[in-house]
Amino acid sequence: MAPGVKAVADPIISSYHPHLQEASIAYLLRRGTWKSRGQVITGKAAIAPEQWRLLSGCDLVLIINEMVWQVLGDKGREMLLDHELSHFTPPTTDKDGSLRWAIREHDLQEFSEVVKRHGVCTGDHRRLIEAAGQLDLESLGTLTAQEEGESMGGEDDDMDDDDGFMEGDDFFGGPQ
């Protein structure tokens, strides 16, 4: 578990994702190289499969790339978490009273409300770099970023998130 990530996520949930206040969310940092098809993955939102729920009591899972997390400034971290949390839609209630969570895809390349809140667009490198503020361009120079597309397995794995968030070879590199 990553308490630092949760500390950033909690106020975002209160402000923008109140339906998630009743969810138990596991925040995990993934170390080491995390790539898909040659591109660095920034994070992944997933619904915990049944085995996970029984083992951990967590409904939802956010996995964040630790290397990306370390170089993002406060605003970049908020935007990344707001983005990931936006993948979780309000739950429906099953016949037995348990909550059923679902994942949604982006309405744009980025969620339009995340763009509104943070004033950035993934297609606009300059503004995103400005919004990220404390980005260490040196260490990110070779990185490109997108999100993971694979599911975590289990019956609730309708969570494909292959979306190209922060995608593009020149995203962090090159003259801005």
Binding region for Zn ion (CB under 5 A)? 147, 163, 165
Which is nearer to Zn ion, 82 or 163 (by Cβ)? 163
For residues 158 and 53, is the Cβ–Cβ distance under 8 A?
no
For residues 47 and 13, is the Cβ–Cβ distance under 8 A?
no
Q: How far is the CB of 146 from Zn ion (least distance, A)?
A: 9
Q: How far is the CB of 148 from Zn ion (least distance, A)?
A: 9
Strands (E), 5-157: 25-30, 35-36, 39-41, 43-47, 60-65, 88-93, 99-103, 145-146
Which is nearer to Zn ion, 48 or 81 (by Cβ)? 81
Which is nearer to Zn ion, 54 or 147 (by Cβ)? 147
Which is nearer to Zn ion, 59 or 163 (by Cβ)? 163
Do the bridges between strand 39-41 and strand 43-47 make them parallel or antiparallel, or are there none, so unpaired? unpaired
Question: From the CA atom positions of the chain, what is the Rg in Å?
Answer: 16
Q: How far is the CB of 23 from Zn ion (least distance, A)?
A: 17
Q: How far is the CB of 87 from Zn ion (least distance, A)?
A: 6
